A and B are shown apart, each in its own frame.
Chain A
Amino acid sequence: MTVLDVRSLTKGFTMHHLGTQMGAFDDISFSLNAGEFLLLKGRNGAGKSTLLRTLYRSYLSQSGEVLFHSQHGVIDLARAADVDVTYLRRTEIGFVTQFLTARPRVSAEALVAEPLRLAGQTAEVALEQARHWLGAFGVKQELWAAYPTTFSGGEQQKVNLARTLILPQKLLLLDEPTASLDVAARAALVKRLAELKAQGTAMIGVFHHPGDVAELIDREIDLTPDAKPKEDREDVAI
């Protein structure tokens, strides 16, 4: 069952103050099925984050299509209306980055519970689940009701993981989610990803230590320019 079908996606940046254009990636095509895990590789600056952000529509592509098979039908995320993108981000597409967007005077547990509440869960169930996931990622119980704005980078990242992984999504994008994590939290993350994968979540991820997720990887794409001939760039079996 296809979840994502990317066709000839091309992204560059126009830097108006310099009067220059810079290509980020060119003519990328791949498709991804439910429960598949795609690893993005490539040296620094190869365009891994750019690709993820373009799929999420934080960046605008120059050409190509990002056909997402949502519960409501196939929609091209590259051209979809803003409200549809906002809706899908809340319901079907998750993005795990290295940074938590903390909000003033919102507790860690409230922040983590929010996606469930927005999805229609009762406040009690959402809170109970939130606490479960905060615990699972190793956030100390004393911190659950505190405001993450004051947390350390590692603690914030655990809250971030709990929040972004609490609700199973159809498509999950991951941009170096383990960068500031201790070993135990990394293991908890891999466990959760394996669970989500088994439930059918399709994933595209960039990992600092790809070894962490070796068991989950189905395919790889290397974005390093000329890393491989284009014909071989997709569907590389490992």
Chain B
Amino acid sequence: MMDAPKIVTTRPLLIARNVSKAYGDVQALSDVSATVYPGEVLGIVGESGSGKSTFLRSLNLEETPDTGSYTLDLPDVQGNLFDLDRYARRMLCATKIGIVYQNPHLGLLMKHSSSGNVAERLLVAGERRFSVLRDKARDALDASEFPLERMDAPPIELSGGMQQRVQLAKAIALEPALLLLDEPTTGLDVSVQALVLDTLKKLQQERKITMVIVSHDLGVIRTLSDRVMVMRRGKVVEQGLADQVFQDPQHAYTQQLVHAKL
């Protein structure tokens, strides 16, 4: 076990403790705990079915775990967030948390304009002035390196890579305290994957957004993460500094993952 921080006195933004969730007989999460400091990128890696998405949906308050606690150190946000009612959850997610799903259908209205998709999120958070909506939507799309001449096209007419950029713009438009990414590049062509990763890296570097990113792809996790958590069958098998987990994996499962990739 590592010691508690002695030098860094900043409080963690996110603390999740002993989160467990079963679907019938399937134990999707068993006692998963994670701590994320402001500006950090936590990468969660593991093969398909290991519980990564369930954990991320829990952090986005879409899922109510059976047990466990989840706190965010933000003004006006108190207590175990899993205890919030639906309305309070929706307000919190609308204003503080952004999410990008692997499947754009989960995150976007496919037949509305791309700029409208981004503006809609600002509307939900209470912005009503048309010019502000349009400007902020444009800025977010631009930061996501979406080609602005296409901002009025509906996602359904766009490529997979562009759809992910619209999701990303929607997620960052409100400058969320926490950005969650669930396999944001999975399923894209390799060359497009690299471009989307570039954008994420750039955003992370320039805005220092606190992120939790989930992927079965070690390359993606390695590119973006400061710290890495390895999951298997709903459990955390190993976690540590990204370079340590990749260069000197301790657990048999992590070694297998890392060696398979090399």
Contacts and interface: CB of A to CB of B under 8 A. Distances in A.
B5 interface: yes
Contacts of B243: 58
A17 B259 contact: yes
Interface in A166-224: none
B198 A105 contact: yes
B229 to A, nearest CB: 11
Interface magnitude class on chain A: 20 to 34
Interface string B1-41: 01111111010000000000000000000000000010010
Contacts, number: 74
Q: Give the size category of B's interface with A.
A: 20 to 34
B247 A53 contact: yes
Nearest to B251: A16
Contact of A86 (B226, B248, B251, B252): B226
Interface string B211-236: 00000000000000011000000000
A82 B227 contact: yes
A87 interface: yes
Given A17-B256, A17-B259, A104-B198, A82 B6 contact: no
A7 interface: no
Contact of A82 (B202, B240, B256): B240
B3 A83 contact: no
B255 interface: yes
Contacts of B2: 79-82
Interface stretch (A37-45, A67-75, A129-137, A230-238): A67-75
Q: Residue among A17, A53, A79, A85 with the most chain B CB within 10 A?
A: A85
Contact of A83 (B8, B247, B251): B8
B201 A17 contact: no
Contacts of A13: 248
Nearest to B195: A104
Interface of A: 13-17, 53, 57-60, 70, 72-73, 75-76, 79-88, 103-106
Interface of B: 2-8, 10, 37, 40, 194, 198, 201-202, 205, 226-227, 240-241, 243-244, 247-248, 250-252, 255-256, 259
9 contacts: A17-B255, A17-B256, A17-B259, A53-B247, A59-B244, A76-B3, A80-B6, A81-B4, A84-B7
Top 8 closest pairs, chain A to chain B, by CB:
A16-B252, A81-B5, A59-B248, A83-B8, A72-B7, A84-B7, A104-B198, A58-B243
